[in-house]
Amino acid sequence: MESSIILTNEQIQNKTRRIAYQIYESNCNEKEIIIAGINGNGYVFAQNIAKILSAISEVKVVLCEVKIDKKNPIKEITTSIPASEYKNKSLVLVDDVLSSGTTLIYGIKHFLEVPLKRFKTAVLINRNHKKYPVKADFKGISLSTSMQEHINVIFDKKNSYAVLE
């Protein structure tokens, strides 16, 4: 099967910037925002969002890595910061691609064990193949794809891109 580029480096940068502004707009009264990226590309995307958020606002941005076994998300989920650091704060859970919603829903479940002030989700690409009732509050693009197709996001310092395979 042939692969085609669905997002160029420039498009990813523009979408990341737009998402960062949307997060800021919905949290402009907050002193601190937790940007929690799901391990792998979700965390890389979260780092990129956090960098822009720090540049465009006075809000303290705390980056958190969410460690989920994507093949078996029912296993224990851990975070790089203790729960006490995100308790009663505004948190955005970030991943690169929302396909079935499995990874995101288990990530959400983990954070529901701690009271949060506000809880949103952000993804670069929303594929609309949901198995669970989970939605992305902030998304770069929505794409209708077949179940056989695969989206791969490559984050590179000089040239990031997303391909449909």
Q: Give the Cα separation of 71 and 53 in Å (integer).
A: 31
Beta-sheet strands, E only, within the chain: 4-7, 32-38, 60-67, 78-79, 90-98, 118-126, 138-142, 151-154, 161-164
Q: 10-145 is classed in which CATH architecture?
A: 3-Layer(aba) Sandwich (3.40)
Tokens of 146: 């077949």
Per residue in 93-148, pLDDT tens? 999 999 889 999 999 999 999 999 999 999 999 987 778 888 899 999 998 888 78
Q: Give the Cα separation of 87 and 90 in Å (integer).
A: 9
List the single range of 21-25, 41-45, 81-85, 155-159 with lowest mean pLDDT: 155-159
Domain boundaries defined on the chain: 10-145
Per residue in 64-94, pLDDT tens? 999 999 999 889 999 999 999 999 999 999 9
